[in-house]
Amino acid sequence: MNDILRERSLRIRLLVLDVDGVLTDGRLVIGRSGEETKAFSVKDGIGIKVAQFAGIEVAFLSARSSELVLRRAEMLGVRDVRQGKERKLEVVKAMAAERGIGLDQIAYVGDDVVDLESIAAVGIGVAVADACSDLLESASLVTRAPGGGGAVREVVEAILRGRGDWVESYRGYLAAAKE
């Protein structure tokens, strides 16, 4: 991580995650009777829990709406879930205003063109490894892992390492999880 990203990591208070293509691999599996299936990474789930333990709030923001996203958020204790939102930058600005923080205090992880404006506007704009080329070119950080394959966990670790509290955070999370 370069010095600029390290400095920006110190300010991050909110991690906003796109869902399809970031928390999942972007595939939609639809059964015969219309039921939808998504696969979420356990690694990403642990990353989210460690981020929360470290005092970083996590929010999900998706252009699509899915009951499965609400269920995954509930499992992880993610309270802010906004779905059916195509104009993501407007929502990110509203999230910042609601919390009384600046856009520079937000990290945003995306994978496609609907995420471009948000990636450019926040403190740390992240593209997952298999994001579209425009996003890869615009992001301040690109993960090695693809969407749905541990990219969120990688982002959390990068931010917390930048802050200098990665080890303290994951050890604290593990100790608290045992109780």
pLDDT at residue 125, rounded to an integer: 98
pLDDT at residue 89, rounded to an integer: 97
pLDDT at residue 177, rounded to an integer: 84
Q: pLDDT tens, 124-156?
A: 999 999 999 999 999 999 999 999 999 999 999
Spatial CB neighbours of 135, under 8 Å, sequence gap ≥ 6: 110, 111, 112, 113, 115, 116, 119, 127
- CATH number for the region 3-178 comes to 3.40.50.1000
pLDDT at residue 1, rounded to an integer: 67
Phi, psi of 110 (to 5 degrees): -140, 180
| Angle in degrees, 0-180, between the axes of helices 166-178 and 151-163, rounded to the nearest 10 | 120
Sorted by where each begins, the domain ranges of the chain are 3-178
Question: CA 120 to CA 77: how far, in whole Å?
Answer: 27
Residue ranges for the chain with pLDDT beneath 50: none
